[in-house]
Chains A and B, each alone.
Chain A
Amino acid sequence: MTMRESIEPDMTPLGPLGSEGPEGPEREFTIKARTQGQMVRRRFIRHRGAAIGFTALVIVIILAYTSIGFWKIPGWWYLGYTKTNPIVNGGAPTLDVLPAFIDGDGFMIGPHPFGQDQIGRDYFALTMRGTQISLMVAFVIGILSTFIGAVAGAISGYYGGQADNVIMRFTDLLLTIPILTIAAVVGNATGNLGPFFLAVVLSLLIWTSLARLVRGEFLSLREKEYVEAARAMGASSPRIIFRHMLPNAIGTIIVSATLTIAVAILLEAALSFLGFGIRSPDTSLGLLISTYQTAFSTRPWLFWWPGLFIVIIALSVNFIGDGLRDAFDPKQNRVRA
């Protein structure tokens, strides 16, 4: 289980009529033949929330990684996130998005669009740095835990028996312990090893829900004729798993990976907020909120910006996940008992 289990079921597309007519299977008759890939793409693009979310996420990623640069590549923003600068405008944001006819001075970015902290660091640069780390952690968790979960679920579902037993009992175990508590202990012990290591460790904790889903799919796929046929023709087990079964579970896996990223971004933020995640001198969106929460009454923007970015990222990713789910199986009811 993850801190926020991906129980996001069905969100029908925002079109006039969804695909929930009472005669589910019979509708197939009326649908023109299209390839699976085309249909998935078409439905994804038509999902308004997903399209907006996707655009927003791409903008945030580009903004975060090009503005202050990363690794050795310099960015286009003129200030670094560690440098202290003279306080301008009392430290308040200089960004002004209101056009001239409302407040008279028109659109303006200014020297410190997101403001400055007490010691004069540029808060735009800091927020971008936090976004970079948070995104990196979330994506590493999303990819790695999906990999672990898919492999464990595939083994469990394909081989059954003893392997299945061990893996499923282990997931039972992890489900008993609220993820935040175990993550806090592990994060506290390993936090000084850096964000990447933290991401790897957290991945080891949140793969279980996907493993169960993949296992379920494999259990039913195992009974399908073409899998039996492949087996009868002497195909090797890895070949059956990778050629015949995984492609059929790909929808589940991709959707779950997406939702895991949303979960991960919030988990990292919560851990860093409690002091068990990212440590300074590294920074992350959660750590920024934690650092500046007491400044709310004096410098509220220090609190608003990182929170806003967390919400934008998580919301975008959740909508993308929803769009993908709709795209992969528009009809199937998504209530999993």
Chain B
Amino acid sequence: MSEEILSVNDLSVVFPTEDGMVEAVRGVSYSLSERDVLAIVGESGSGKSVAAMALMGLLPKYAQITGDVRYRGEDVLAMSPKRSRALRGQNIAMIFQDPMTAMNPVYTVGDQLAEAYRSHHRVERKVALARAVEMLDRVGIPQAKDRARSYPHEFSGGMRQRAMIAMAIINSPDIIIADEPTTALDVTVQAQILETLIEVKDSVNAAVILITHDLGVVAGMAHRVLVMYAGRGVERADVEDIYRRPRMPYTAGLLGSIPALDSAGGKLHPITGAPPSLINLPPGCPFSTRCPLVTDRCLTEEPELAATDLPHHQVACHNWEKVAETPDPTLLFRTKAVDA
């Protein structure tokens, strides 16, 4: 088994705001080994981006971050600003959701890539530019040498996201965090971008944290999956288990919402309702308002992430056994009255 490079333990993030304390992330834990792909899946607002940005040190100063994050044994949250800056971009790189706005409109693509290289390597601009062209070429941008002189607005969305990937790998990082890298793109380019990401990740031997709200894209790529709900990790398992043996009603619901996986006559069984407000969360399981299996215990006691019948598979649900007994858990959401 390969070496563990990142471990996140009980990471929490709270934003004090005018309306109250926003508990965006509440005790998330996971670990990442070399060259692994971990998918973090969850609805919009479940705290995926915040959790990722916390370890990059990209959250605003007023964010209150607690927990233990270790990169190769080094305490990330307690790093000096200088070491933290060196870590960013050099050891951990990040790709963002919206390629249209993620690049500075006033500098050429090549300059922006070269800058990323030069901020961690003392080389002349020319050298860095050559390296930038090489990276652009590697992510499949044609005529990379010319295109490096273009401004971001002259690129299409897909090309910009390729350029962002090129920027992420320019320093050969250990970890690439890709925060919904394809959400803003056309369906036709989504697959290409993911493929490119996997290819280049292998070429630099990096591990990937793939953040997405689409379980569909996870299937062919990830090794491990962490499902997040209302700031918590609610299920953590190998990718096979997630698809075939989900133990959390929420995960089952997500699976039921994927068109391609639903073989039963194209009918979807989406989860109804909306996640709770992250301010003044009610006691009990945050999913209880939408859960078909809800019991009295769910309303008073919040379940912890705990072991299940399967190895390497944890779930935060009081009634996971019931899910395990259900032959096709995605059908749980078909009607409301399946409760036993």
**A–B interface present (Cβ within 8 A):** yes
Q: Which residues of chain A have a CB within 8 Å of any CB of chain B?
A: 15-17, 19, 21-23, 26-27, 29-32
Across the interface, do B17 and A17 meet the contact criterion of CB distance under 8 Å?
yes
- A17-B62, A21-B60, A22-B60 as given contacts; A29 in contact with B17, CB under 8 Å: no
CA distance A168 to B278 in the complex (A): 47
Q: Which residues of chain B have a CB within 8 Å of any CB of chain A?
A: 15-19, 22, 44-45, 49, 60, 62, 275, 277-279
CA distance A23 to B22 in the complex (A): 13
Identify A26's interface contact among B18, B19, B45, B279, CB under 8 A: B45
Across the interface, do A29 and B16 meet the contact criterion of CB distance under 8 Å?
no
Across the interface, do B60 and A29 meet the contact criterion of CB distance under 8 Å?
no
Q: 22 pairs across A/B with beta carbons < 8 Å?
A: A16-B16, A17-B17, A17-B18, A17-B62, A19-B18, A21-B15, A21-B17, A21-B60, A22-B60, A23-B49, A26-B44, A26-B45, A27-B17, A29-B44, A29-B45, A29-B275, A29-B277, A30-B19, A30-B277, A31-B19, A32-B19, A32-B277
CB distance from B43 to the nearest CB of A (A): 10
CB distance from A46 to the nearest CB of B (A): 8
Q: Determine the chain A residues whose CB is within 8 A of the CB of B16 once the complex forms.
A: 16-17
CB distance from A15 to the nearest CB of B (A): 6
Across the interface, do B278 and A30 meet the contact criterion of CB distance under 8 Å?
yes
Q: Determine the chain B residues whose CB is within 8 A of the CB of A27 once the complex forms.
A: 17
CB distance from A19 to the nearest CB of B (A): 7
CA distance A28 to B240 in the complex (A): 35
**Nearest opposing residue in chain B for A28, CB measure:** B45
Q: Determine the chain A residues whose CB is within 8 A of the CB of B49 once the complex forms.
A: 23
Tell me whether chain B's interface is mostly helix, strand or loop, or mixed. Answer: loop
Identify A15's interface contact among B15, B18, B60, B277, CB under 8 A: B18
List 10 tightest A-B contacts by C-beta distance, closest first: A29-B45, A30-B22, A30-B279, A30-B277, A30-B278, A17-B17, A15-B18, A31-B19, A17-B16, A17-B62
**Nearest opposing residue in chain A for B63, CB measure:** A21
CA distance A17 to B16 in the complex (A): 8
CA distance A19 to B62 in the complex (A): 12
Q: Determine the chain B residues whose CB is within 8 A of the CB of A30 once the complex forms.
A: 17, 19, 22, 277-279
**Nearest opposing residue in chain A for B16, CB measure:** A17
Q: Determine the chain B residues whose CB is within 8 A of the CB of A29 once the complex forms.
A: 44-45, 275, 277-278
CA distance A17 to B15 in the complex (A): 10
CB distance from B68 to the nearest CB of A (A): 25
CA distance A32 to B19 in the complex (A): 9
CA distance A300 to B57 in the complex (A): 58
Query: Other than the known A21-B15, A23-B49, what 11 A-B pairs have Cβ atoms closer than 8 Å?
Result: A16-B16, A17-B16, A17-B17, A21-B17, A21-B60, A29-B44, A29-B278, A30-B19, A30-B277, A30-B279, A32-B277
CA distance A255 to B267 in the complex (A): 51
Q: Determine the chain B residues whose CB is within 8 A of the CB of A23 once the complex forms.
A: 49
Q: Determine the chain A residues whose CB is within 8 A of the CB of B278 once the complex forms.
A: 29-30
CB distance from B163 to the nearest CB of A (A): 22
Q: Determine the chain A residues whose CB is within 8 A of the CB of B45 once the complex forms.
A: 26, 29
CB distance from B231 to the nearest CB of A (A): 11
CA distance A19 to B22 in the complex (A): 13
CB distance from B190 to the nearest CB of A (A): 22
CA distance A22 to B45 in the complex (A): 14
CA distance A19 to B44 in the complex (A): 20
CA distance A16 to B15 in the complex (A): 12
Most buried by A among B16, B44, B45, B278: B45
CA distance A29 to B15 in the complex (A): 14
Q: Determine the chain B residues whose CB is within 8 A of the CB of A26 once the complex forms.
A: 44-45
CA distance A17 to B279 in the complex (A): 16
CA distance A74 to B141 in the complex (A): 82
Q: Determine the chain B residues whose CB is within 8 A of the CB of A31 once the complex forms.
A: 19
**Nearest opposing residue in chain B for A46, CB measure:** B18
CA distance A22 to B49 in the complex (A): 12
CA distance A31 to B62 in the complex (A): 19
CA distance A27 to B17 in the complex (A): 10
CB distance from B297 to the nearest CB of A (A): 27
Q: Determine the chain A residues whose CB is within 8 A of the CB of B22 once the complex forms.
A: 30
CA distance A227 to B49 in the complex (A): 36
CB distance from B211 to the nearest CB of A (A): 14
CB distance from A223 to the nearest CB of B (A): 20
CA distance A334 to B168 in the complex (A): 33
Q: Determine the chain B residues whose CB is within 8 A of the CB of A15 once the complex forms.
A: 18
CA distance A19 to B19 in the complex (A): 10
Q: Determine the chain A residues whose CB is within 8 A of the CB of B62 once the complex forms.
A: 17
Q: Determine the chain A residues whose CB is within 8 A of the CB of B44 once the complex forms.
A: 26, 29
Q: Determine the chain B residues whose CB is within 8 A of the CB of A19 once the complex forms.
A: 18
Q: Determine the chain B residues whose CB is within 8 A of the CB of A21 once the complex forms.
A: 15, 17, 60
Q: Determine the chain B residues whose CB is within 8 A of the CB of A22 once the complex forms.
A: 60
Q: Determine the chain B residues whose CB is within 8 A of the CB of A16 once the complex forms.
A: 16
Q: Determine the chain A residues whose CB is within 8 A of the CB of B279 once the complex forms.
A: 30
CA distance A16 to B49 in the complex (A): 24
CA distance A22 to B58 in the complex (A): 10
**Nearest opposing residue in chain A for B275, CB measure:** A29
CA distance A22 to B56 in the complex (A): 15
CB distance from B298 to the nearest CB of A (A): 23
